[in-house]
Amino acid sequence: MNEQNPNVENKVGNYWDQRAAAARPISWMGHPFISKTFNKRIYNSSAPNWGLGLFEILKRKHLKQGKKFKKAIAVACGNGRKEMRLVKKGMVEHITLYELAKNRIEEGKILAKNMGIENKVEFVYGNAFEMEKEKGKYDLVIWLNAIHHMMDTPMAIEWSKDMLISGGFFVMDDYVGPNRFQWPRIVMETCNKARAKFPKSIFNRSEQFPKKRHQVLRVVDQNLVSGVDPSEAADSARLLEALSFAFPNRQEFLYSSGVSTLALNDISSRILDKRYEPFIEHTINLDLDLVGKGHIGFASTIAIKD
């Protein structure tokens, strides 16, 4: 999303429209064991789905019993499934969801109806930065795997702060690593060390999985990344620093160096059986060890506007 370049917006919207129409394999965030493990290790939560541990902390620490956020907004929400869970759980009274892919919006409207919350959800096709100008309108701004798609991430964070009332909350769970996924050597080496533990058969073609996976991965060409989706990790490397300036009052969770997504994402659909859980656990341990050494690829935060 870019306020000055509608051509980029159109290309991004078209790309995600095609993604919506295509069958989407399980990602590392959608793998049940990976989700449970990260929720437990990072948030001390037993939540089964990715990121719900973060919202358990938000509810437990910052929402008084029986209270809820009155007006929330989320940008680049896809079909809004994760954001709408907060409405369904009674944490949010009403949410406005911005998206550039029309097919994803249609998916979301169907989901909202199936969840029985269509009167509490508004999907908007368009650029939120241009369409939302009134400051102090919301008490919750949500970015879930979305803000790394912004072409100017500090601007997106400042806009988010402007949207909030005093005492309002900014919640983010996102990729914060190198622009265009240009991972440092130590992350790639650790990723391949983790993949080497898995049986080689995991990477081979089969009747169920006709596409071969390379056991050894290399850094992807950044021109290929931007050519497919101009918004993909365009300015992700500035996110954490921008957050520190805009929201000094925040709780931050630095939960992955990038090893887990690199090592597990393309094979997540193939490692659902429990016999692979020790290999997954080994991968996560390597990942969190790198986080401890300062290599940050993914982070979440709960911040308050002073």
Q: What is the pLDDT of residues 183-203, one digit of tens each?
A: 999 999 999 999 999 999 999
Model confidence at 11: pLDDT above 90: no
Strand order in the sheet with 121-125: 121-125, 92-99, 69-75, 138-144, 164-175, 298-304, 250-256
Model confidence at 22: pLDDT above 80: no
The arithmetic mean of pLDDT across residues 164-189, rounded, is 98
Percent of the chain with pLDDT over 90: 91
The arithmetic mean of pLDDT across residues 138-160, rounded, is 97
Q: Which of 267, 254, 265, 258 has its CA nearest to residue 287?
A: 258
In the structure, what pLDDT confidence band is assigned to residue 18 with cuts at 50, 70 and 90? low
More confident residue, 14 or 271: 271
Calculate the average pLDDT of the chain. 93
Residue 2 has what pLDDT? 45
Beta carbons within 8 Å of 292's beta carbon, 6+ residues apart: none
Distance from the Cα of residue 165 to its chain's centroid? 24
Residue pLDDT, tens place only, 279-300: 999 999 999 999 999 999 999 9
Secondary structure of residue 265 in the 3-state scheme: helix
Q: What is the helix, strand, coil percentage profile of the chain, to 5?
A: 50, 15, 35
How far is 148 from 76, CA to CA, in rounded Å?
10
List C-alpha distances in Å: 8 to 158, 229, 239.
21, 9, 20
Residue 37 has what pLDDT? 97
Q: Where are the domains of the chain?
A: 6-178+230-257+294-304
How far is 143 from 279, CA to CA, in rounded Å?
31
In the structure, what pLDDT confidence band is assigned to residue 65 with cuts at 50, 70 and 90? confident
The arithmetic mean of pLDDT across residues 27-52, rounded, is 96
Tracing tokens 């998206």 back to the chain, one arrives at 99
How far is 128 from 156, CA to CA, in rounded Å?
10
pTM above 0.85, yes or no: yes
The arithmetic mean of pLDDT across residues 92-102, rounded, is 96
Residue 169 has what pLDDT? 98
Alpha-carbon torsion 119, 71, 15, 182, what sign?
negative
The arithmetic mean of pLDDT across residues 232-236, rounded, is 97
Please state which architecture CATH assigns to domain 6-178+230-257+294-304. Answer: 3-Layer(aba) Sandwich (3.40)
